Amino acid sequence: MLIGYSGTLRQGYDVKELIEIIGKIIDSKEGQRVAVIGIGNLGRAIIGYFSGKRTKLSIVAGFDVNPEKIDRVYAGVWCYHFDRLAEIIEKENITIGIITVPSGEAAYVSDKLVNAGIKGILNFTPRPIQVPSNVYLEEYDIITSLEKLAYFVKKV
């Protein structure tokens, strides 16, 4: 209702239409391009999960420092060496970065993303990072979330 869409009492919502309306609200006209930094288990899982799910929000590049992961394709996404981060972000017009590196590298990676012109960062590491006010930051610590769940489940 907050977005100007309502269903019917007996039939609920037209899911496809609702997804389209939500997409019009959150997507930009030309779409947003995303990079995943850290192609370990979590990075590959995110790329695989996202593959083909959203037309206006797509992962277009991966970055790593491990020679065994570089110059390979993961679910349709090419993995570049981290040294090429700024070059590829500019070339591919990437605006969002997802950090899935070891926590000790999070701040370094974040600084490189900001310097390369990234406008939004999703940090999947347990290490909090600092970004300038013109960069939107979302931090998701899976361990803290699981601990929170465990606490509340224990009380039930």
Average pLDDT over residues 41-61: 87
Distance CA 59, CA 73 (A): 12
Does the pLDDT value for residue 39 go beyond 90?
A: yes
SS3 label, residue 27? coil
Domain membership of residue 109 (yes or no) is yes
pTM of structure: 0.80
What digits encode the pLDDT tens for the residues 68-117?
999 999 999 999 999 999 999 999 999 999 999 999 999 999 999 999 99
Per-residue model confidence (pLDDT) at position 1 = 47
Domain membership of residue 24 (yes or no) is no
Per-residue model confidence (pLDDT) at position 65 = 98
Domain membership of residue 23 (yes or no) is no
Q: Are 121 and 110 in contact (CB under 8 A)?
A: yes
List the CATH number of the domain containing 87.
3.40.50.720
Does the pLDDT value for residue 5 go beyond 70?
A: no
Distance CA 37, CA 97 (A): 7
Strand partners, 111: none
117: left (phi over 0), alpha (psi -120 to 50) or beta: left
pLDDT band, very low/low/confident/very high, at 43 (cuts 50, 70, 90): very high
52: left (phi over 0), alpha (psi -120 to 50) or beta: left
Number of domains making up the chain: 1
* Domain span including residue 77: 31-155
Domain membership of residue 5 (yes or no) is no
What digits encode the pLDDT tens for the residues 16-36?
666 666 666 555 566 799 999
Average pLDDT, the chain: 87
Amino acid identity, position 36: V
What digits encode the pLDDT tens for the residues 106-156?
999 999 999 999 999 999 999 999 999 999 999 998 888 888 899 999 877
